[in-house]
Amino acid sequence: MVDLNLLRLIPILAKEKNVTRAAQKANLSQSAFSHALNRLREQLKDEMFIRTHSGMEPTPYAARMIPVIESALSKLDTATRGPSHFDPARDAHTFYIGAVDYFEFMFMPVLTARFKTIAPNVRLSVDILSETIKVERVENGQLDAFIGVENVQHIPHYFNKHRLISDHFVAIASLERSDLPDQLTMRHLVSEAQIHLPAVSSGADHIDNWLLSQHLYRPLATVVQSYAVGGRVAVASGYLMCVPFRIAQELAKMLPLRIMTLPEGAPSYDLLLLSHRLYDYQPALQWLIDELKTVRI
């Protein structure tokens, strides 16, 4: 097999047509270059270059090799140079993210407004998918990342975890539910009919897990797939709904809802950005991760 370090000398000599200049270009001594050329001649069984009145000219065999060698060297250079720089102000890019409703409800308005200014050609495409599908698609490179929830789903060890936000649970109900106190008790949680939005698609839920740890259960009247729908159902039905506090604040701005605190010991809601170690070295994804970690809502 021919040494690649020898092959790279062929295009150089073809361009320079002079061994001394070619040696300087290759950062070799003239004797080392001449020795390398002789090795090539022996290995390839061809003269490779012939001295003429216009300088060193490649043989027909060498001339056929030159474009192939140049193309191969160019590809090797590109492959070993590493990922290209990402400029959010100029580059066009679409990020695909699997997420939970909290992320879409709270983060997307802030991110869309921010990207409009600092990254006008960047788009976010968010899918509310099951955890299994999200993991599979991230592993296959179909999703750049997914937004998960701490303590209620399995996170593979080869995913990098970035904490985005921590929230706490409260309850919301129609303003017409004046019979309920501002501070709910366990009795209210186990007796009042409630609207349920699972934290993850498997059905696992912080509030249910918390109550179950005390051998308690709550009556669930209906299940919804988004906080916005849950808020409307709460207004229409008078049912309770346990939601993260920031979600409750936003819903109360839009709908006639009141916010009540939960009994002491209620769980927190911790949102995670999860990326695969196989892909998250890429400059564009690193930029997105940094942006998401700095969002304040």
CB 226 within 8 A of CB 102: no
In a domain, residue 59? The reply is yes
End-to-end, the C-alpha distance of the chain in Å comes to 61
The pLDDT of residue 150: 85
Number of domains the chain is built from = 3
Are 158 and 179 found together in one domain?
Answer: no
In a domain, residue 88? The reply is no
In a domain, residue 184? The reply is yes
CB 251 within 8 A of CB 243: yes
The pLDDT of residue 13: 93
Two structure tokens written together for 125? 């495409």
- In the chain (297 residues long), the average pLDDT of successive 10-residue segments reads 83 93 92 92 92 93 92 77 80 91 94 94 84 73 86 78 94 97 96 91 82 95 95 98 97 98 95 87 90 90
The pLDDT of residue 188: 97
The pLDDT of residue 140: 78
Look up the CATH number of the domain holding residue 240. 3.40.190.10
In a domain, residue 124? The reply is yes
CB 164 within 8 A of CB 242: no
Are 125 and 251 found together in one domain?
Answer: no
In a domain, residue 87? The reply is no
Are 16 and 48 found together in one domain?
Answer: yes
Name the residue range of residue 14's domain: 4-81
Task: Choose among 167, 150, 237: nearest CA to 196.
Answer: 237
Are 66 and 154 found together in one domain?
Answer: no
The pLDDT of residue 79: 66
In a domain, residue 86? The reply is no
In this structure, is the dihedral angle defined by the CA atoms of residues 262, 267, 270 and 276, taken in order, positive or negative? negative
